[in-house]
A and B are shown apart, each in its own frame.
Chain A
Amino acid sequence: MAFTNEQLERYSRHIILKEIGAKGQKKLLNGKVLIIGAGGLGAPAALYLAAAGVGTIGIVDADVVDLSNLQRQVIHTTNDIGKRKVESARETMNAINPDVKVNTYHEFVASDNIMDLIKDYDFILDGTDNFPAKFLINDACVMAKKPLSHAGIIRFKGQLTTIIPGEGPCYRCIFKNPPPKDAVPTCKQAGVIGAMGGVIGSLQAMEAVKYLTGVGDLLVGYLLTYDALKMEFHKIKLPARGEGCAVCSDHPTITELIDYEQPACELKAH
């Protein structure tokens, strides 16, 4: 595939980089990333990955745009209120970069659809806001051996890690099970600074770009935490892939996907 003059100009700041070059840009254009959740994390990630020329980007989200989303979900605008988030996201992404093919999935992830959703993608980006989805996505990515960027944000804090099944620890190596319902507030109950999604979602996009181009070291085996109030980042080394992990050890006890119960108030919000 040869670049058009327009592509050479559009991606010039990438191609100039010694680590990326034309070869790296071609890898991005041939890359396929699935973003689960078009919210606080998924919005900035989708914008940067579309701008970067990741050739195929899937977006999964069952919600419609709500006025209360706009404080942080920068891919949607006031005119998009009431529109499906996946449609709103696709319009913005294609307005930024028509090179990108955006696949939309207006649905919740669950045990009966997630394997099919992730199967055609090179890298999965978890931008969800609840523990049942995060455990489901982790388990599915481990079972399908798909690289995953996990992240979470709340109040003034954010964290992320990158999971390459078989190479480093998975989410379940760190957290064995979801916390009891209502033990941990969601960001709907607790609030979150809008720019936190920008910081952490952009780091997720960076991990996807590094994975697709094969450049640098991924955040595998580490949890990066960000405390905005203290203005502190910590890169915490995680224990090696757990022999005892229920899903990613050589002898897993979890071999089928689990739909953990979602607190009812979280599902009927809109």
Chain B
Amino acid sequence: MANPEFEVDDVIDITDVNCPVTFVKTKVALEELDEGQILQVHINDGEPIQNVPRSVKEEGHEILKIDDNGDGTFELFIKKVGD
């Protein structure tokens, strides 16, 4: 799923796991990035989309955008803040 607005540095799919592993996988992927790099997350509706962006923000990262794919999944774009 290409995104013209940002240059994405890594893409992960967390639609195959449940909370809290959804956030764990997102967090591990963010730890691999450098400050300012962007992670795209393919994520399910419901509990994951309610919880993961909030937990990511609590860790200090920036949510750039959430796109609704219209099929029960979303694309979440996160900018890594801090090291």
Contacts and interface: CB of A to CB of B under 8 A. Distances in A.
Interface in A39-82: none
Contacts of A18: 58-59
A15 B28 contact: yes
A15 B23 CA distance: 9
A188 interface: no
Interface string B7-33: 000000000010011011101100100
Given A22-B31, A23-B31, A8 B24 contact: yes
A12 B24 contact: yes
A16 B27 contact: yes
Nearest to B23: A16
A12 B20 contact: yes
Specify the main secondary structure of chain B where it touches its partner: helix
Nearest to A15: B24
Interface string A1-45: 001010011001101101001110000000000000000000000
A9 B31 contact: no
A160 B28 CA distance: 35
A21 B25 CA distance: 11
B21 A21 contact: no
Nearest to A18: B59
A16 to B, nearest CB: 6
A22 B29 CA distance: 9
A18 B25 CA distance: 14
A2 to B, nearest CB: 9
Contacts of B17: 5
Which of B24, B27, B28 has most A Cβ within 10 Å? B24
Contacts of A22: 27-28, 31
Interface of B: 17, 20-21, 23-25, 27-28, 31, 55, 58-59
Given A8-B28, A12-B24, A16-B27, 12 more contacts: A3-B28, A5-B21, A8-B24, A9-B24, A13-B20, A15-B27, A15-B28, A16-B23, A18-B58, A21-B27, A22-B27, A23-B31
Interface of A: 3, 5, 8-9, 12-13, 15-16, 18, 21-23
12 contacts: A3-B28, A8-B24, A8-B25, A8-B28, A12-B24, A16-B23, A18-B58, A18-B59, A21-B27, A22-B27, A22-B28, A23-B31
